[in-house]
Structure 1
Amino acid sequence: MKTLRQTSRSIRLALSVIATALALAVGSLIALTVAPAAHADTQICDQYGSTTIQGRYVVQNNRWGTTATQCINVTNSGFQITQADGTATGGAPKSYPSVFNGCHYTNCSPGTSLPAQLSAIGSAPTSVSFSYVGNAVYDASYDIWLDPTPRKDGVNKTEIMVWYNHTNPVQPVGSRVGTASVAGRSWDVWTGNNGSNDVISFVAPSAIASWSFDVKAFANEAISRGLAQNSWYLTSVQAGFEPWQNGVGLAVTSFSSSVNLGGSTSGGSTSGGGTGGSGGTGSASCKVAFAPQTWSGGYTANVTVTNTGSTALNNWKAGFTLHSGQTITSAWNATISPSSGSVTATNLSFNAQIPAGGSQSFGFQGTYSGTYSQPTGFTLNGASCS
């Protein structure tokens, strides 16, 4: 039989257990209440640290020109430089933090089709948006790497740099050799060698914040200047910054890249002729190369319209019909309306002319339901291309 003291002690123990349980329960509730939301961003400060985004691209810190710390904050759409210590000396930049599709020093992006032979690529549509700051010395560059072999490591033979922006006193490798019109824009062209590879740089006369284009246009320009061959391989495309001083706040806010294999007729090619109709000046005979890249529920497409007639076209409209369930969500190098059904792509101010034998390219991104099918009924200024 328990004594009074034993009973009292049992009661105190029971009360203590209950109090402890309540405290734990309340603490758990408080912890659940104040716990911060999950954050998908990734901080990288390792010299060559990298991560993947969208299951398709690699983002790399790539600090090679200084021992000072550099950090980037990687989001699902790009990255931003958050720490950029040190100052570059001796001419080369501190680093090239960037996002890429392809293979860079054996680091290959998930599911990439690169390296791919240039002759086998129908189109390589890409888009990038940059965010700039005013207290840094840098260039914002889109890099295109070409090599005679399908190498996935080391330095390639030729580097094409497309400079969206730069600050003084930064200038490209080599010397200025003139100007060129590539992918619908005018560029100052520089050529040289950095001791490891040939470099051809296309420098925008004024800053470009966001632009979409076909990588093949610049590869073809390099070929025409003897800096590459059609039998060479595209190994990677990269978008990022080369900072010499500071750089905090510089960001790639969006990036996309796809490679459509199959040569110049990848995705189907149709041709035909006729006389001009509404929407442009000049009679039209045309050939259309349509190169799509699809994934579940979505796709991108690059369209190259060639004027096979004997006179130049001033202003152009390309018509085509989307299949049921397809909707265009964005476009580049043309204005497209409406977003479904029978649509019309209209030139922009910088690509309004198509010389005889020349071509213009535009592209778009869209969604689809069911099974994807290519558009039909292509026309150029009212003339049928099918």
Structure 2
Amino acid sequence: MLTINREEVGQAGIEARLRDVHGLVPLAGMQGKRAAVCLREPLDVLAAVQALRSADISVLLMHGDTPLAAASTAAADAGCELLLWGSLQDSRRIRPTAGVPEADDGRGGSEEPSLLQYSSGTTGGPKLIRRAWTDVDLEIAAYNDALGEAAECRPVVLAPVSHSYGLICGVLAAMKRGIAPSVVTNANPKFALKVIEETPAHLVYGVPLLFHVMTGLGGRFNRVISSGAPLPGPLFETLRARSAHVMQQYGCTEAGCISVARSMRAGSDLGELLGSWHLEGEAGQASKEEPAEIVVARGLDGRRIATGDLGYAEDGHLFYAARMDDVINVGGLKVFPLEVEERIAAFPGVKEAVVYRGVHPVMGESVRAKVVWSPSGAVGVPSPQGLADDLRAWCREGLPAYKVPASIDLVDSLPRTTTGKISRRYIEQTERGGH
């Protein structure tokens, strides 16, 4: 059981752990080079990141549960010469892989001290992304401005600080505002709810799966902010009934946080763009029925990022439709998984659903779904086939025929990445016998 409270995350706590970093980690001769941080304790992560940055060392941020062999390979492939793995007592020099390519920062040029991360790889192989710390500072300033009244709240961070959502938005941005957050690492949602209850003016940082679990336990909140995947419609409505304010933020590894919805209109509402980001291309003129790729550009330097997501703008807010690679083509007609998932999720007893691409001998592609179902709230306990038939009938009542799943499988859980995202690509590859 571990909760980092606001005193520990405060300046005194960080400074105490910084002394551990300087006493245990060999930083001599590392200026201008790269080091990987793969630590279990969140306070160690925060102190290591700060110490490495102040020494002009670029930081590769890795999930703390990564096995040593995998962490060593990933760090070497990223050109790192130092690996902090497990604990500060177990740091080690490593040899970078020969011919390591420069990490992509979208601009080229020589490397300044940076934050390095691998993209999630949900629709392709992981890609090494570099963001200069000066860019991260710009993101934090714009993010704090975008929070509005929520900037005065005490963050309770349930998202891991080994990812930029928890590290930058949950912790570093709060410390920049002069507020030390509570970082909860205990996996027990009841424990997290206790911390939330003890922090009245809170802003809870989480992902949809965590909020789904905690609302199922009767949790109530002051403010919540979600990221990582759009809030399913039924979960958004539940959170709105249990919270004074429901917020959502959107971003990507290449850009950091792009937008924040302070007052959400729907689960797909991504809010208003931060700072100098603006929409380019067709998304600004697109619609819910015909979304376009979300492409953002920054006025400061003209940097342009194609997100690979489909969306549209409406009354100054950005709305999410689907990942481009997730769109299902059924006989020339487009099916956006989110719309079908929301219809399935509204059926009594459905806990979670994922809609993905299947193979059809005539149509080319078909709509398939996997559903996690619980009898709680449902009438009777039908057979798996009976429930699948009921779900398809439910979909036919609310969706055009081409969007109704050709098959629905009942499962105990849905496959996810380390960030909690559902991996449609993994499901599709598994069913086709791929890897």
TM-score under structure 1 normalisation? 0.30
Greater per-residue strand proportion: 1
Q: TM-score, normalised by structure 2?
A: 0.28
The higher radius of gyration belongs to 1
Greater share of helix: 2
